[in-house]
Amino acid sequence: MQKKFSRTRSLKYRIINIKTGALKPKTAILIIYSGGTIGMVGDSSGSLVALKFNQIMQQLPSLNTLNVKITVISFPVPMDSSNMTYQNWIDIGYIIYENYHNYDGFVVLQGTDTMAYSASALSFILEGLNKPVVFIGAQLPISAIRSDARPNLITAIEIAAKKNGDDPVVPEVSIYFDYQLLRGNRAMKIRSSQFGAFESENYPLLARIGISIDFNYPVIRKCVRDQQLVFHETYDPNVVIIKLFPSITRQAVEHILEIQGLKGVVMETYGSGNAPTDEWFIGTLQKAISRGIIILNVSQCIGGKVIHGRYATSKLLQDIGVISGWNITTEAAITKLMFVLGQTTDKEKIKDLLSSSLSGEMDISA
């Protein structure tokens, strides 16, 4: 059957209840399929087509061993994750928000290329989240002989359903891939041709999966009972990323910072937040900041953090009002910047929110 949600886009989502062997399931899990390799199967001609989820038991008969009620909501047309926009993040967030009290956990299937962006965005969109939202994808389609889709999906459902008494074990947005569970807004895709596609260099794994699922309880966000979920649907996409490189030209920097309607910049600097000290460069940034453009400094390194003032090259950035992103990833930084700009136009409030950890996306320390 089809159901029309009340969002202004009024997309029609396909809803499928999966019949498993569970007679009296203890938990209920909602799978949200937006697209990606994980939901593809080969047709008679050998081409890849989207899986019909009412036939998923043919691909995953082991679902019968889970004492879980499973429902699938599919996007009207499966998307390549390269086509994802902030509107799609909001759509996923709204589906979770509308169904929040009917399910114990949520599993989101999407392509891996922009998964870290989506997981980061959802961690901000769903304020007060107190249930698992596990993102998964696959490097090979579910019908492939050596597909990672099957173990990824089974394990993600297990993690989303796992409880400690009445409380969920992982009440936050996460990414499960290649036997590792990562905090969603700490993950980065760093490989495209191996099963181990994601890493979380600046934050410990939430769990390692082997014969058993070994949860790293001290680093998982705590469950806060009776916490109210707040759904934020306002994002501002008027942002850019500037990746510094040796010999970057004045014309390039000025052209980017003079984009009409630009409100925020994530600037990828060297090492611990260092940038050129050329007068033209610092002056160009200063002029942009004086026009109200927010500049957030993140490191190009996958590990480590921005430390303003550690070297003279970053002290100048601090002096002109560039905001330190500490050890936030670029994926979390750009989605957070869009989120914060969508919540307020007060510059001091924006700076305060960007300098604070909103959902565990960064560590703030001297």
Domain boundary among 212, 231, 250: 231
pLDDT at position 11: 59
**210 and 124 together in one domain:** yes
Whether residue 43 is predicted with pLDDT greater than 70 in this model: the reply is: no
Residue 318's domain comprises: 239-354
Is 32 a member of any domain? Answer: yes
pLDDT at position 215: 98
**206 and 329 together in one domain:** no
Is 365 a member of any domain? Answer: no
When divided into structural domains, the chain yields a total of 2
Is 108 a member of any domain? Answer: yes
**258 and 145 together in one domain:** no
pLDDT at position 268: 98
Sequence-distant (≥ 6) Cβ neighbours of residue 347 within 8 angstroms:
292, 294
**221 and 271 together in one domain:** no
pLDDT at position 52: 64
* 135-183 confidence digits (pLDDT tens): 998 888 776 777 788 889 999 999 999 999 999 999 999 999 999 999 9
- Give mean pLDDT, residues 9-23: 71
pLDDT at position 1: 36
CA 215 – CA 87 distance, rounded (Å)? 33
Is 363 a member of any domain? Answer: no
**43 and 155 together in one domain:** yes
71 an active-site residue?
A: no
Is 137 a member of any domain? Answer: yes
* 258-294 confidence digits (pLDDT tens): 999 999 999 999 999 999 999 999 999 999 999 999 9
Range with lowest mean pLDDT among 15-24, 79-88, 214-223: 15-24
Domain boundary among 209, 231, 253: 231
pLDDT at position 6: 46
CA 225 – CA 271 distance, rounded (Å)? 40
Is 209 a member of any domain? Answer: yes
Task: Say which CATH number the domain at 251 has.
Answer: 3.40.50.40
Q: What is the percent of the chain where pLDDT is above 90?
A: 71
Residue 310 has, within 13 A of its CA and on its CB side, a CA count of: 14
Whether residue 102 is predicted with pLDDT greater than 50 in this model: the reply is: yes
Q: Per-residue confidence at 53, pLDDT binned at 50, 70, 90?
A: low
Give which of 128, 153, 179 is closest to 68, Cα–Cα.
153
- Give mean pLDDT, residues 78-82: 89
CA 150 – CA 195 distance, rounded (Å)? 13
**295 and 220 together in one domain:** no
Q: In the predicted model, what is the mean pLDDT of the chain?
A: 90
Range with lowest mean pLDDT among 12-16, 135-139, 226-230, 295-299: 12-16
Task: Say which CATH number the domain at 82 has.
Answer: 3.40.50.1170
**114 and 209 together in one domain:** yes
Catalytic residue among 8, 20, 27, 37: 37
**26 and 146 together in one domain:** yes
pLDDT at position 3: 43
**210 and 252 together in one domain:** no
Range with lowest mean pLDDT among 142-151, 205-214, 341-350: 142-151
**212 and 344 together in one domain:** no
pLDDT at position 255: 98
* 218-236 confidence digits (pLDDT tens): 999 999 988 999 999 999 9
Whole-angstrom CA distances from 148 to 48, 143, 155, 184 are 16, 10, 11, 19
Q: Could you tell me which residues are beta bridge partners of residue 41? A: 49
Domain boundary among 173, 207, 231: 231
Report phi then psi at 196, rounded to 5. Answer: -80, 75
Q: Per-residue confidence at 8, pLDDT binned at 50, 70, 90?
A: very low
pLDDT at position 287: 98
Is 362 a member of any domain? Answer: no
**190 and 296 together in one domain:** no
**60 and 199 together in one domain:** yes
Is 334 a member of any domain? Answer: yes
